[in-house]
Amino acid sequence: MIPLFLAWQVAAAMPLLEQRRFADARPVLEKSCAAREANGCYLLGRTLFSLDQYDAALKVLSPLAVTDRDPWRVQDALGSVYEALRRPVEAERHFREAVQGNRDRNPEPRYHLGRFLIREARAAEAAVVLASAARQFPRYELVRFELGRAHYQTNRLEEAEKEIAAAPSLEEARRLLHKVRRQLGK
């Protein structure tokens, strides 16, 4: 009966998380995590990150890196926390561990690693990571946009145009596409 109740607590927090009401979801997730409901702890760590409480997020997420049912997702979350803390060496290590642990089942880890590399002014490296994700997940617009950004930053404008055009629902992509086309004389 207790595991069902804990799962219900996590389910009750989901609408709050979807509405980005992180402060409201936090108490529910804290109770769930205190009772050792693994998904509750993971979601609590992500919630604390969203509330800019990075040290608290590390405290919750770090132990999960070895116990979570999908350790790659915890590594990915830790990468985001370390990036927010401006600790790029640790961020990159965790993002890369997430990519390795995910084994290409989901585009998110490669997207996050690629975006991180772009932010670190390593667009050529990002393009390699993002290109493989774009081939495997061609409809995932965030990957296509970031790949386009990487190409743009490495002055590969024709390739940038192709990738950015594949992300039409993103406002930022539409703005960059306009800029790229202007530079291409279109």
Report if pTM > 0.75: yes
Distance CA(130)–CA(145), nearest Å, equals 10
How far from 139 is each of 19, 133, 146, 180, CA to CA, in Å? 25, 10, 13, 21
pLDDT tens track, the chain, 186 positions: 344 445 567 778 888 889 999 999 999 999 989 888 878 999 999 999 999 999 999 999 999 998 998 999 999 999 999 999 999 999 999 999 999 999 889 999 999 999 999 999 999 999 999 999 999 999 999 999 999 999 999 999 999 999 999 999 999 999 999 999 999 998
Contact 70, 81 (CB under 8 A): no
> Which residue type occupies 78?
L
Domains of the chain plus CATH, in order, are 120-186 (1.25.40.10)
Q: What is the DSSP string of 28-77?
A: HHHHHHHTT-HHHHHHHHHHHHHTT-HHHHHHHHHHHHHHSSSHHHHHHH
Q: Which residues 6+ apart lie within 8 Å of 185 measured at CB? A: none
